[in-house]
Amino acid sequence: MQKGRLIVISGPSGTGKGTICRELLKGNDLDLSISMTTRAPRAGEENGVQYFFVSREEFLKTSEEGGLLEHAEIYGNFYGTPRAAVLEKLEKGRDVILEIEMDGAAQVKRSYPDAVLIFILPPSLEVLRKRLTGRGTETEEQIQARSSQALSEIHRIYDYDYSIVNDSLRDAVSDVRTIIRAEHLRVGAGSEALVRKYEEEE
Amino acid sequence: MQKGRLIVISGPSGTGKGTICRELLKGNDLDLSISMTTRAPRAGEENGVQYFFVSREEFLKTSEEGGLLEHAEIYGNFYGTPRAAVLEKLEKGRDVILEIEMDGAAQVKRSYPDAVLIFILPPSLEVLRKRLTGRGTETEEQIQARSSQALSEIHRIYDYDYSIVNDSLRDAVSDVRTIIRAEHLRVGAGSEALVRKYEEEE
């Protein structure tokens, strides 16, 4: 059995990463990585479903022991990706999807170099601004700032293995699946088992 | 426009490389690399279709000038892959398929590192022997020798970027197409043009 691949989906905000991941998970052939957080559960949230809810002490202990693939502090709460939970799934041959902001993606690549980093791009900055306007949660100024930030973030494309322009959701999801399949065909550590199969025949 | 990719299909003999390439070419979205040779054209063969037929002098001159991505001598005749013809197609955005034996594949990777090397494997050595028996052109001893050779060749898998077990022709062809699509999504030299598009918008 081939080991699963860790697929990291990242990119500027407003590019539709979350929607792509939700679509991908409908196939039931991929697992979502569940983050660990110190923030309190909201109504309806369950431990181990949306997040692993832990105390500050537990979070810091896990982090110090190298138990997180990446972590960040956001508005005073800690968030992180538990290494053990992800690795267990990969060992079982499941591919794992991790949707994460860009600093987190770079951290994951450092702590787990076999991770496959996919950068999701907007069709254009114009479309990105329209999407953000459509959300109705930000002022015109904030949207301009986000668009400028997106442009500077787009220059970080070289930290990634693949990039997908999210022009159409269907095509973007299909492209992620194409990348996952191709990564399984890649020659690497997993090829040893393949070679052994022929050796045993002789 | 994105540059085309050079896709090298190789592997032990009897694994169905030729059939896979013929199927791929039916799509008309790929070009076949045409080799240069010093052997005489056979009945029905046309210059520039099956091969570029050249004199020994012309072949050696091209080779000395670095004009071949790889070359080999087989039964006293020279065969080689003309660099200019391949690069011209890639520049036009066409993907080029090159079916070649394993030493040639390794030479291509050295002379054109962006080449994508795909290794075609038999489902098993048993199946390989049956395929060779089916051809009816070789003795039992020759088939055994080929099978042993195939096993030693399989260990060269690590020279390749991808491997495909040719269990079913349809799946193998689909896997090659998957790899080509994924390679077009890869972040690399071609990503500069993509980034420029966003820069020009601002």
**pLDDT < 50 stretches in chain A:** none
- B192 touches A: beta carbon within 8 Å: no
Interface test with B, best of A128, A178, A192 (most B CBs within 10 A): A178
Break chain A into its structural domains and give their ranges: 6-33+94-201
Compute the mean pLDDT over every residue in chain B, rounded to the nearest whole number.
Answer: 94
What is the share, in percent, of chain B residues with pLDDT greater than 90? 84
pLDDT given at position A190: 83
**Which residue carries 């005489």 as its tokens?**
B40
Of B163, B179, B197, the CB nearest to A191: B163
- Name the DSSP letter for residue B47: B
B187 neighbors A156 (Cβ within 8 angstroms): no
Q: In this predicted model, what pLDDT tens digit does every residue of A181-196 receive, in sequence order? A: 999 999 998 899 999 9
| Distance (Å, whole) CA B4 – CA B1 | 9
CB–CB contact B197 A124 (8 Å): yes
Inter-CA distances, B100 with A166, B17, B29, B38, Å: 37, 9, 20, 17
Of B150, B182, B195, the CB nearest to A154: B195
Helix (H, G, I), strand (E, B) or coil at A188: coil
A27 neighbors A44 (Cβ within 8 angstroms): no
| Distance (Å, whole) CA A155 – CA A10 | 13
Is A6-33+94-201 CATH 3.40.50.300?
A: yes
Q: In this predicted model, what pLDDT tens digit does every residue of B26-69 receive, in sequence order? A: 988 999 999 999 999 999 999 999 999 999 999 999 999 999 99
pLDDT given at position B11: 95
B170 neighbors A193 (Cβ within 8 angstroms): no
Strand B35-37, strand A77-82: pairing: unpaired
